Structure 1
Amino acid sequence: MKPGTSFLRAASAIALSSTVLASSVVAQFAVVANAEAAVINRIEVRGTQRIDDSTVRNLLQVKQGENVTDAQIDDAVRRLFETGLFSDVKINQSGGTLVVAVQENQIVNQVVFQGNSKIKDEQLTAAVQTQPRAAYSQATADADVAGIKDAYTRIGRSDAVVSVRTLPVEGNRVNVVFDIQEGDRTKIGAITFVGNNAYGDSRLKQVISLRESGILSFIQRDDIYDADRLRADEEALRRFYYNHGYADFRVVSSVADLDEAQNKYAITITVDEGERYTFGNISIDSAVPGVDTAALQGELKTKTGEVYSAKTVEDTLVNLTNSVAEKGFAFAQVTPRGNRDFASRTISIDYVIDQGPRTYVERIEVRGNTKTRDYVIRREFDVSEGDAFNQVLVQRAKQRLEDLGFFTKVSISTAPGSEPDRVIVIVEVDEKSTGELSLGGGYTTGGENEGPVAEIGVTERNFLGRGQFVKVSAGFGSNTRNYNLSFTEPYFLGRRLAAGFDIYRTESTSGDYDTERTGGDLRVTAPITEDVSVQVAYNLKSEKFGDDKGAVVRADLNGDGIIGDDEYVADPDNPDEALRSTCDNRDPLGNGTTAAPAYTDSPIINEAICESPYITSSFSYAFTYNTLDSNKDPRNGFLVQAGQEFAGIGGDAQYVKTTGKANYFRQLSEEYDVVGQLTAGGGNVFGFGDDLRVFDNFFKGQDIVRGFDYKGIGPRQYGVAIGGENYVNASAEATFPLPLVSRDLGFRGAVFADAGSLWGTDFEGQEGVEGEDFALRASAGVGLIWASPFGPLRVNYAYPIAKEDFDEEQQFSFGFSSRF
């Protein structure tokens, strides 16, 4: 190796080493420089006007003297936007300074609604999130536009157009204006069912809540399409079919198409009914030692051979669950196991009792209620905090809550509790209006209340959110006045006892004499079983008959033996006025011929008038057996009521009055919706102590046998009704939808036959008294029933078939309907 070469190699190595060392030092200096640049020494906030810079710095969650990463900066930007205070946020790093540039949202000065008339400002204010003195957010305003459109959709104006704009005012504030074009009301043009064979469209339309638009829709407001209502109607159809034997029923589809040209929805519901089943063999099996299945047979609601019904299965589950729990098996679980026989179309059910999981209710959470108190919802549960959790009882509580009529929707779910054996029951409700203002009118024919009538009433079914019922009403007729106040507390003393009171006053100036009644009652109703209840009450009333003016004294002024309406005796002291006989001056002529004022042609009634006012103080009780499928529009089931009233707890009356009535409904034709009704009733009253007062008798007529006048049958004196001590009645009736008439109008036809009698009196043998013996009256007729928005109205034409000569007929009658 040459010496020069070695030197060159050494020099090259030294140079290379120097280069590597220099590069390393430079890299290290670069790393140090970058590290120093990432340390935040100062945070500078720009663009704030109302908000303190310190507030922004706190929201960043970045500390001075520490490193900051891109991820931390992204999180800081997100947190600032989430406050809703800023419309724009930018964060940059300049050396050791973190620069935060923000643009504040404007503050809402005022929220204004323009163009609305169908929905009030107060309602729209509650529907939007944009509020005065809050930061304006375009995203929130856009959501409010959608919320306002939803509100209009719920009142049937789905074509409403809504937009939002802002008007700047001083101080970086804005007025937010929602411009509304309400449009026309969207109607339901047609509701059509596809796939239904067992029931016609008209019958199924009675099951659902949606209605086709008609001439009364502007009052009833039930022709408003809403997707939630359609879903609820699907469930109503399932329940209807499941309770009528169609266990395989399903809703294939439900579609609502909007015809924008006519602004009408066409709703088509396609169903698959399946086969109809009856109950097969019913049995109870238990895997829990000690449970006596034989003793549980009486709890079964499902009977072999009867039409399958999901409701009776549910009722049986509840009965068995409660019965087993009462016997000390708190965690027993009852499960129905069905076995379908497709050949015989029967469903056999085996109720299996197993030992369920030992789970307790930790707490019940109630959500969504703004008016209804929590305890009103909680008391519908048969389980409380700390009790064994039972799904059957929870579902029964859900049904009870829905039956209250306080909510549009009730849902119950569960969540894990604080321990593995604890569960939280979550109840979510959507409240609805429970107050009603009713205005009604009509014309009542027959009897002392004949003439035009009008009624106004205010009803609140959830008074102050306490679940209490309050009704105040007043009725006015050409000759009548009535005033009523009713109050009911459904859970008296924390128990399922319905306690309440009624106060009333009625005045009538029609008929042969005036009548005034003022009274009230205190009542308590207790359930004995699901179908049987008993009511006890104390009743107090004051009755006054006649008036202080007395009766006009009439005479045969022409001497022709005929007393006419214009043949009255003039008052000598005031020739323009008729001379009157009063109870205090029974012989104004001074001839000793008048025993009592001649209000009527009946001395019995006249004498009773002079003995008024009467005070009646009584105690009463009544049993009710109710298995109707609907109290409003029954088609199947029994309603039986029987009770007694004991008068004599003070007051002027002393009697025992016994009454009873039974109604049986049966769907005669499901396809044509023909409903049959059989009714039977009767009563007896007898006095103890003093004789029975004439006004304590029963006065009957068209209320038991149509075709006769009010007080049109029974004992009379000189043609004036004096009432009877006994009555019986029976009737048969069939109602049906009118052909070629939309069921949405609420009309049904009726054919009927009635029979009955009123007889017996303490005044038998007195002069002029007749009709004291039993004599059958009967009639047949037709009727037209209208379920009007003002209440059920009915027109009847009845022709008496069997009658007495002294009976008073009223073949045509019109009035408010109440047949049971």
Structure 2
Amino acid sequence: MMAIGQQLGRAGHNTPSRQIRSVVFLLALAALSSGLPDVAAAQSYRFDQVKIEGLDRIEPATVLSYAAISRGATISAGDLNDAYQRIQGSGLFETVEIVPQGGTLVIRVQEYPTVNIINFEGNKRLKDEDLAKIIASQPRRVYSPSQVEADAGKIVEAYAQSGRMAARVDPKVIRRDGNRIDVAFEIREGTVTEVERISFTGNRAFSDRRLRQVLGTKQAGLFRRIIQRDTFVAERVEFDRQLLVDFYRSRGYIDAQVSGVASEFTRERDAFFMTFNVREGQRYSFASVSAVSEIEGVDAAEFQSQVKLRPGTTYSPLAIDNAITRMEALALKKGLNFIRVEPRLTRNDRNQTLDLQLALTRGPRVFVERIDIEGNTTTLDQVVRRQFRTVEGDPFNPREIRNAAERTRALGFFSKADVETRQGSAADQVVVDVNVEEQPTGSLGFGLSYGVSSGVGVNVSLQESNFLGRGQFLGVNISSGTDNVNSSLTFIEPFFLGRDLKFRFNTYYNTSDSDNSDYSTRFVGISPSIEFPISETGRLELRYELSAGKLYSVEPYDAGPPATGSSPILSREQDMGELYTSAVGYTYSYNSRLTGLNPTSAVTLRFGQDFAGLGGDVESVRTTALARAQTKVWQEEVTLRAEVEGGALHMLNGESRIIDRFTGNGKIRGFEPNGLGPRDLGAPNEDALGGNYFAVARLEAEFPIGLPEEYGITGGLFWDVGSVWGLDDTAGVAEVDDSLNWRSSVGFSVYWTTAIGPLRFNFSKALVKEDYDLEQNFDLTISTTF
């Protein structure tokens, strides 16, 4: 009789119904040939024993468990077919045959071979060790065709995520003796599938150029071989959609949506065209903003001051969220637990305004049972835990948990930081699960810098932003240029004494040969400091500095003839030798971006003073101040900046030195380093002397110049006006000019964001200057780290 397995062994090519029909037909044929009275009897079988052949590693009991055929039981042809399907579906055998032989059922099997080695061939972009982590097949395990096919798909997906959509993977099997095989994945990586063009439909308020700046995906540009964000990654599309929606809504477009993204291959099928379909809607602003209380005994007037949203302010979800955070924080300070702030918006479609009501309500009585942190192998739990202002036993606040998740991601220590909540041991308990994946936080950098005046410089830096897993920063930096060598060591503890106190310790050793002057300087010092918040937008730094400064290599003045040497002022300062400065100081800084009220504008203020005289050789008061404002206009295509900066040095005893005074370097464009300010015109060297005071105002506009956005090239116009003036010691020197003489310059800038670092080309012209000032009409700065 023909073996049933010979028919059932083709299960991969026949449907189950055809298999059953084959079994029934064979059994009927066997019955007729044996002279049985009817077909129905031939379709039933009864076996006294089951014989299994072909086993090597697998136990017979395993096969019997899959077959599920009992001795002495009556079974049908369908039962035999089911037994075959179960054994074949176990994935343990390459071939299966079921052969009835009278009262004995013979099951013949051939086990799948063992995988000897796994090779990857043709891969260059992804390394063997990286691919080995992707696949599930492993050496010294049983070969599974379905698993190998699935592994090939995983490799293709990995290449697709890196932008190689045309990658192909063909698994090959090489037979070896001893029922072993080698598995080889033949890989054709293909070329990178770039994003050739990104366009938008439905956008009226913002140009395509502006919207492209929002996306994480970029168009292919000049550095397409280096920049990876111009490759097409399907998983990034959804992220880009959300970025667009957040961009519009933060600017008042409450109904903004991205209805779809069309991704089409180019004709050559080597790049994509992406089109985002945008529905902007109307722009809304707040007509009225109020706080109300629905809790007995809680006065809403006390919380109104925390809103900080005024009528006419453009709608922004971030601004509302910050207002709610401030109100809930005030409630906690007052000892009011389980207070929730519910935002209620009423639309006025006729005039595109919103009435915002922030209602104080009573939330559910739910507590944080515990915070579980997993995935951190190097970073200590306390580094993550201190990002949560909630601890075990505190009332549960969903908004605070979300904010803590954002703070954890902002650390930069983790490639992934997921924060989720689940019910705890009771209905009023919540467990917060924090799952993180660590990423490298240390770097060794070698860099180059270039400036027209400073020349070529070399930088070497070693930094670790998560030192010993404690969240501390440790950095060593050494840089050298044509005329200077600077070295420093910095240590930062961002959570000193378990509080929001940033402790910084800095030590430095700097030497320089000043440009356009014939002298050298040397500084060495240490400076510990503490920085902490004093308001939502303000921080205060308190510091101490102990330093030693020396002026040397000053060429003595010789009246001649001919006269040679430097100014007698510098000679007298050199004669002071090395002086020690012991000073305490503070700096207050303000940043309006922290409130999130206006995403297109920002204001930064900084004011600081240093008081020297707590020991040491120098007694002085040094004051500096800076005010900076920035805004975007004309569909956010143009960025306007304005800065005002100034400083004053007041000596309490003795005279100031050139190493303590202001030089104005980098403050006013269009002039060389040490190219303006007080100068001894009677000295042959006409050395720049610096001044006790400086003031400067800078206006600047940055705008597109018509080039494709992906090239990263924009233009700018600037106007600078300022001066450096004032000396303490001018005795015996007749031709010193330390008067308040204003200078100004105008110019054009080209900004170029490149793969090797940001470049800036400045073309300037001094409008107002003194005859002895040194102009610089062109400047190029380049800095890169590799």
What TM-score range do you get, normalising by the shorter chain? Answer: 0.7 to 0.9
Aligned residue in 2 for 1:776: 742
Question: Could you say if the C-alpha distance between residues 349 and 738 of structure 1 is closer, same or farther in structure 2, counting changes exceeding 3 Å?
Answer: same
Question: Could you say if the C-alpha distance between residues 555 and 180 of structure 1 is closer, same or farther in structure 2, counting changes exceeding 3 Å?
Answer: farther
**What is the DSSP-based 3-state SS (H/G/I as helix, E as strand, rest coil) of the residue aligned with 2:535?**
coil
Q: 1:507-527, CA deviations, whole angstroms, 9 ceiling, x for partnerless residues?
A: 434632334444443333222
Greater Rg over alpha carbons, structure: 1
What is the CA–CA distance in structure 2 between the aligned matches of 1:99 and 1:361, rounded to whole Å?
A: 63
Aligned residue in 2 for 1:508: 512
2:726 pairs with 1:760: yes
Aligned residue in 2 for 1:667: 632
Aligned residue in 1 for 2:643: 679
2:460 pairs with 1:452: no
How many residue pairs end up in the alignment?
732
**What is the DSSP-based 3-state SS (H/G/I as helix, E as strand, rest coil) of the residue aligned with 2:244?**
helix
Instruction: Check conservation: 1:242, 1:249, Cα contact below 8 A.
Output: yes
Q: Post-superposition shift, 1:356?
A: 1.0
Q: How is 1:326-365 mapped onto 2 (pairs within 5 angstroms)? A: 326-365=333-372
What is the CA–CA distance in structure 1 between the aligned matches of 2:783 and 2:242, rounded to whole Å?
A: 31
Aligned residue in 2 for 1:499: 503
TM-score (norm 1): 0.79
Q: Post-superposition shift, 1:89?
A: 8.2
What is the CA–CA distance in structure 2 between the aligned matches of 1:379 and 1:83, rounded to whole Å?
A: 50
Aligned residue in 1 for 2:622: 657
Q: Post-superposition shift, 1:712?
A: 2.3
What is the CA–CA distance in structure 2 between the aligned matches of 1:747 and 1:775, rounded to whole Å?
A: 36
Aligned residue in 2 for 1:187: 194
2:144 pairs with 1:137: yes
Instruction: Check conservation: 1:544, 1:614, Cα contact below 8 A.
Output: yes
Q: 1:255-278, CA deviations, whole angstroms, 9 ceiling, x for partnerless residues?
A: 222236251111111101110111
State which of 678, 690, 694 in structure 2 corresponds to 1:727: 694
Q: Post-superposition shift, 1:57?
A: 9.4
Aligned residue in 2 for 1:785: 751
Q: 1:329-370, CA deviations, whole angstroms, 9 ceiling, x for partnerless residues?
A: 221111100001011111111011111111122333456667
What is the CA–CA distance in structure 1 between the aligned matches of 2:331 and 2:552, rounded to whole Å?
A: 62
State which of 225, 233, 236 in structure 2 corresponds to 1:229: 236
Q: 2:669 is matched by which residue type in structure 1? A: R
**What is the DSSP-based 3-state SS (H/G/I as helix, E as strand, rest coil) of the residue aligned with 2:225?**
helix
What is the CA–CA distance in structure 1 between the aligned matches of 2:324 and 2:79, rounded to whole Å?
A: 58
Q: 1:760 is matched by which residue type in structure 2? A: G
Q: Single out whichever of 294-303 and 645-654 deviates more from structure 2.
A: 645-654
Q: Post-superposition shift, 1:491?
A: 2.8
Aligned residue in 2 for 1:532: 538
What is the CA–CA distance in structure 2 between the aligned matches of 1:293 and 1:313, rounded to whole Å?
A: 17
Q: 2:729 is matched by which residue type in structure 1? A: F
Q: 1:707 is matched by which residue type in structure 2? A: G
Question: Could you say if the C-alpha distance between residues 320 and 65 of structure 1 is closer, same or farther in structure 2, counting changes exceeding 3 Å?
Answer: farther
Name structure 2 gaps, 5 residues minimum: 1-45
Q: How much is the aligned-residue C-alpha RMSD, in angstroms? A: 4.0
Q: Single out whichever of 524-533 and 504-513 deviates more from structure 2.
A: 504-513
Question: Could you say if the C-alpha distance between residues 137 and 239 of structure 1 is closer, same or farther in structure 2, counting changes exceeding 3 Å?
Answer: same
Q: 1:121-158, CA deviations, whole angstroms, 9 ceiling, x for partnerless residues?
A: 22222222223344433333222222222222222222
Aligned residue in 1 for 2:766: 800
Name structure 1 gaps, 5 residues minimum: 1-36, 564-597
Instruction: Check conservation: 2:582, 2:616, Cα contact below 8 A.
Output: yes
Aligned residue in 2 for 1:10: none
What is the CA–CA distance in structure 1 between the aligned matches of 2:498 and 2:97, rounded to whole Å?
A: 61
Q: 1:169-221, CA deviations, whole angstroms, 9 ceiling, x for partnerless residues?
A: 45544333222112212211001011111110111111111111111232332
2:622 pairs with 1:622: no
**What is the DSSP-based 3-state SS (H/G/I as helix, E as strand, rest coil) of the residue aligned with 1:299?**
coil
Question: Could you say if the C-alpha distance between residues 259 and 430 of structure 1 is closer, same or farther in structure 2, counting changes exceeding 3 Å?
Answer: farther
Q: 2:305 is matched by which residue type in structure 1? A: G
Aligned residue in 1 for 2:573: 608
What is the aligned-residue identity percentage?
Answer: 34
Question: Could you say if the C-alpha distance between residues 443 and 421 of structure 1 is closer, same or farther in structure 2, counting changes exceeding 3 Å?
Answer: same
**What is the DSSP-based 3-state SS (H/G/I as helix, E as strand, rest coil) of the residue aligned with 2:733?**
coil
What is the CA–CA distance in structure 2 between the aligned matches of 1:351 and 1:43, rounded to whole Å?
A: 78
Instruction: Check conservation: 2:521, 2:659, Cα contact below 8 A.
Output: no
2:608 pairs with 1:643: yes
Q: How is 1:252-651 mapped onto 2 (pairs within 5 angstroms)? A: 252-259=259-266, 261-366=268-373, 374-406=381-413, 411-428=418-435, 441-446=448-453, 450-455=454-459, 457=461, 461-462=465-466, 466-509=470-513, 511=515, 512-546=518-552, 561-562=561-562, 600-609=565-574, 611-628=576-593, 635-651=600-616
Q: Post-superposition shift, 1:99?
A: 9.1
Q: 1:747 is matched by which residue type in structure 2? A: I
Instruction: Check conservation: 1:280, 1:305, Cα contact below 8 A.
Output: yes
Q: Single out whichever of 318-327 and 124-133 deviates more from structure 2.
A: 124-133
State which of 756, 779, 786 in structure 2 corresponds to 1:813: 779
Q: 1:664-695, CA deviations, whole angstroms, 9 ceiling, x for partnerless residues?
A: 01113225x11111111111122334443332
Q: 1:730-751, CA deviations, whole angstroms, 9 ceiling, x for partnerless residues?
A: 1211111122x11222222111
Q: 1:251-308, CA deviations, whole angstroms, 9 ceiling, x for partnerless residues?
A: 1111222236251111111101110111111111111222221111121132211111
Q: 1:501 is matched by which residue type in structure 2? A: F
Aligned residue in 1 for 2:42: none
What is the CA–CA distance in structure 1 between the aligned matches of 2:461 and 2:114, rounded to whole Å?
A: 46
Q: 2:122 is matched by which residue type in structure 1? A: G
TM-score (norm 2): 0.82
Q: Single out whichever of 341-350 and 290-299 deviates more from structure 2.
A: 290-299
What is the CA–CA distance in structure 1 between the aligned matches of 2:723 and 2:424, rounded to whole Å?
A: 66
What is the CA–CA distance in structure 2 between the aligned matches of 1:128 and 1:370, rounded to whole Å?
A: 24
Question: Could you say if the C-alpha distance between residues 235 and 464 of structure 1 is closer, same or farther in structure 2, counting changes exceeding 3 Å?
Answer: farther
Q: Post-superposition shift, 1:160?
A: 1.5
Q: Post-superposition shift, 1:789?
A: 3.0
**What is the DSSP-based 3-state SS (H/G/I as helix, E as strand, rest coil) of the residue aligned with 1:203?**
helix
Aligned residue in 2 for 1:693: 657
Q: 1:354 is matched by which residue type in structure 2? A: T
What is the CA–CA distance in structure 1 between the aligned matches of 2:291 and 2:119, rounded to whole Å?
A: 66
Question: Could you say if the C-alpha distance between residues 142 and 780 of structure 1 is closer, same or farther in structure 2, counting changes exceeding 3 Å?
Answer: same
2:161 pairs with 1:157: no
